[in-house]
Amino acid sequence: MLLDELIESGGTLQEGIELNTKLSDAEKSICQYIIEHLDQVPYMTSRELARLTYSNPTSILRLSRKFGYTNFNDFKFDIVLKLRDMHMPKIELNKNDSGLECINKTAQLYDNVITRTKNNLSITQYDEIVDVLNKCDAIDIIATDMNSNIAHYAEHILMPIGKPVHVYENQDLQVHASLNVPSTHVVILVTKTGFKRHILDNAHILCHRGITTIAITPEDKGPLSKCVTYTIKAETSETFMKLRDVIFGISTKFIFDLFFTSLFSINYENTLNSYESYLKTVDENK
């Protein structure tokens, strides 16, 4: 993707745009306008941006595609997030860090991971996924070890929305579920690598059966992504292995939190009523 090439090339993004021969002078001018109006661009239509840059909507779409996006909507959100956070600091733990230092670094780690996870999202794809989750009869999650704990968290928070969630952490039960879940279910596969044989086998079974699947994995271009309906890129770290599980856990939980808030918004009244019924039942049993 052109944006990633510019960021990785060193120097400032402005310098990268000016030197890049893939962009016309008019497109460089549009990019410069975006850089100078990062807080406003997400709320603009392609027509508005075209008017303000003395271009036309077709030029805006062409520029979006040069950066690797299918439409301006995905382009404007993703590029603004990446431009804002391209110099995001790395968090390093040191021997004998004080309690306060660990607290501050952990808080910074959360902000860092959540921002990067947000950057990874395609708004168009995310909206499609939420629509699919809202319309399905139930959600099945295939996950093992630590990932299954996060899956049980998702099972809990999605309960008030009226969306049954089934977690399969045993490999035999995962295969059984893949062979038998109804076509009205959506299956989410959670994996830190995207290369585990049993996860891939389940994904192939589900793909062959035509079941809608969502992979949550750092390997969004790996073999798993080729046999699922949607892939959401979660964050991890290969350079700081001791925090890899923490980073992946923060990222994956944030993704499930996004599903919850979006589905809550769509089913607002029913979810509130469900909460009230639950609290009333709990109070009566005290």
Q: Each residue of 176-232: pLDDT tens digit? A: 999 999 999 999 999 988 788 899 999 999 999 999 999 999 887 788 999 999 999
pLDDT of amino acid 159:
85
32 vs 176, higher pLDDT? 176
Give the mean pLDDT of 130-138: 96
| Structure letter (DSSP) for residue 67 | T
Higher pLDDT, 103 or 92: 103
H/E segment holding residue 232: strand 230-233
Q: How confident is the model at residue 22 (pLDDT cuts 50, 70, 90)?
A: confident
Distances, alpha carbon 225 to alpha carbons 52, 137, 173, 181, in Å? 39, 24, 22, 20
Q: Which CATH number fits domain 2-85: 3.40.50.620, 3.40.50.2300, 1.10.10.10, 1.10.260.40?
A: 1.10.10.10
Q: Is the pTM of this model over 0.75?
A: no
- What is the topology classification, in CATH, of domain 120-277? Rossmann fold (3.40.50)
| Of 59-63, 176-180, 241-245, minimum mean pLDDT range | 241-245
Strand partners, 139: 165, 186
pLDDT at 257: 97
Averaged pLDDT for residues 135-153: 95
Question: What confidence tier does 9 reach under pLDDT thresholds 50, 70, 90?
Answer: very low
Residue 11: pLDDT band (50, 70, 90) is very low
What values do phi and psi take at 189, rounded to 5?
-110, 125
| Gap between the terminal Cα atoms of the chain | 57
30-39, 67-76, 239-248, 256-265: segment of lowest average pLDDT: 239-248
Instruction: Report the range out of 39-43, 93-97, 203-207 with the highest average pLDDT.
Output: 203-207
Q: In the chain, what are the domain boundaries? A: 2-85, 120-277
